[in-house]
Amino acid sequence: MIYLLDSDHMSLLERGGTEGGRIRDRLRAVAQDEIATTIVCYEEQTRGWMARLASSTQPERQMNDYAELKQLLNNYCRIAVVQFDEKAVAEFKRLRQAGIRLGTMDLKIAAIALANNATVITRNTLDFSRVPNLKFEDWSV
C-alpha cells in the first residue's frame, strides 16, 4: 500500500498544531516505505512560496520566507516523491475524457494515485470523491 500525502497534509505537517500531530501519529503507524507525496504537490507548494517571495518587499520578511522555502525543500528531500509518469499521464487523459470535474492539479494527483494503486491522504475529500475508484482518507481529523 502506498499513501500519497496531498499538499494540504504536507502543509499541516510543516505547521504542526493539533492536525499536524494527528497526521504524525498516523504516519508512525505506517511503514516508511509506504509513505510518499507527488511531484505535483511539490509544484503546488513551491509555487505558493515563490509567489509569496515575489510579493515581499521587506528583506526581513524575505529572509523568513527563504528559510521556510528551504525547510520545504528539506521536507521533500526526506520523503519519496512519486512522478507524473507515462502511466499517470494515461490516467490523467482517461479522467479528462471521462469528464471528471476537478482542478488540473488535483486531477494529476488523482491520476498518479490511480496509476500507482495508492491512497491519497487529503482534507479535500469532497473533490477527490468525484474520481471513480480513487482511494482517499483524511488523517487530519
Q: How many Å apart are CA 87 and CA 38, to the nearest integer?
A: 14
Tally DSSP H helices, then E strands, for the chain: 7, 5
Q: Which of 33-37, 68-72, 124-128 has the lowest mean pLDDT?
A: 68-72
d(CA 92, CA 62): 36
pLDDT at 56 over 90: no
The pLDDT value recorded for residue 110 is 98
Chain segment 67-119, per-residue pLDDT in tens: 989 999 999 999 999 999 999 999 999 999 999 999 999 999 999 999 999 99
Q: Which domains does the chain have, with CATH numbers?
A: 2-137 (3.40.50.1010)
Strand order in 35-38's β-sheet?
Answer: 80-82, 35-38, 2-5, 118-121, 135-137
CA atoms within 13 A on the CB side of 72: 22
- Using CA atoms, how far residue 28 sits from 21, 31, 36, in Å, is 11, 8, 14
Predicted structure pTM score: 0.93
What is the 8-class DSSP label of residue 16?
A: -
Residue 16 has a pLDDT of 86
The pLDDT of residue 36: 98
Q: Which three cell numbers stand for residue 126?
A: 469532497
Share the mean pLDDT of the chain: 95
